[in-house]
Amino acid sequence: TKGFFNKSITVIPVSKISTIDISQNVLYQFLNIARLKLDSGAGDSVKSEISLVVSMQRANEIKNILGKSKSESKKENYIKSSTKEIMMYAITRNTTTIIIGTIFAINGFLDDLLNLFNIDNNFYNEIGTKISQSANIGTKISQTANIKNFILIAVIIIIIGYIISKLLSVFYYTLKFSNFTVYKDDNCINIKYGELSKKKYSLPINKINAIILKQNLMRQLFGFYSLEI
């Protein structure tokens, strides 16, 4: 139950809860509190159906009551990802979409600048023509050379951008998924990861509807899969 002027009541049968999520950012860790999220999978996929900020002890109590979760005492049911595996995950992620999106975003930003300062779209073309004329670059040979140089520079920029995006991806995911651990008890699959921002998920085994294995082209080359539960 929440709200004062506009009240809303959310009712979820305990048997329908599919995900129990406990997260802590740096401030929450300092205050020893946590955000507890409960989902049945029936609501909005972006916003959790129930989201509470409670003490860390209380969050673990609620998780244990709802999921009947035990500690990860069984060593045979304990899996921990190495730093190398997390780095390989980052390297084999598909960043092409991110690069293309960035290019379109930059292009849109430049268009906004032109409109903001009332600059005609042909402004840069006119400047380029005047520079070419003043420098006496008018022959077909020089034009062909300029086109080749332009293509070469564009290819170099794309390659450098791709390498930088991969390095940033490795740094980000190594930090995000540090200490990534999966363990199983009698009733739940439990996942935890992170140092600066800690995350814990509990998935009741009897609520799992599907396990999906995926491979993009790069992961096929390295023999890696992404697994979705």
Distance in angstroms (rounded) separating the CA atoms of residues 183 and 71: 9
Distance in angstroms (rounded) separating the CA atoms of residues 182 and 84: 16
pLDDT value of position 104? 65
pLDDT digits (tens, 9 = 90+) for 162-215: 888 888 888 888 888 988 999 887 778 889 998 888 888 888 888 888 899 998
pLDDT value of position 68? 56
3-state secondary structure of 125: helix
Q: 188, 177, 183: which is closest to 226 by C-alpha?
A: 177
Burial track 181-191 (b if 16+ CB lie within 10 A, e otherwise):
ebbbbebbbbb
R_g of the chain computed on alpha carbons = 26
pLDDT value of position 135? 54
pTM over 0.85: no
**Quick one: three-class SS letters along 148-184?**
HHHHHHHHHHHHHHHHHHHHHHHHHHHHHCCCCEEEE
Q: 150, 107, 111: which is closest to 128 by C-alpha?
A: 150
pLDDT digits (tens, 9 = 90+) for 141-177: 555 556 667 777 878 888 887 888 888 888 888 888 9
pLDDT digits (tens, 9 = 90+) for 45-80: 567 788 889 999 998 888 888 765 554 445 556 888
User: Judging by beta carbons within 10 Å of its beta carbon (0-12, 13-18, 19+), is residue 34 exposed, middle or buried?
Assistant: buried
pLDDT digits (tens, 9 = 90+) for 80-133: 888 888 888 888 887 665 556 666 666 666 666 667 666 665 655 665 566 555
Distance in angstroms (rounded) separating the CA atoms of residues 10 and 49: 8
Distance in angstroms (rounded) separating the CA atoms of residues 164 and 181: 28
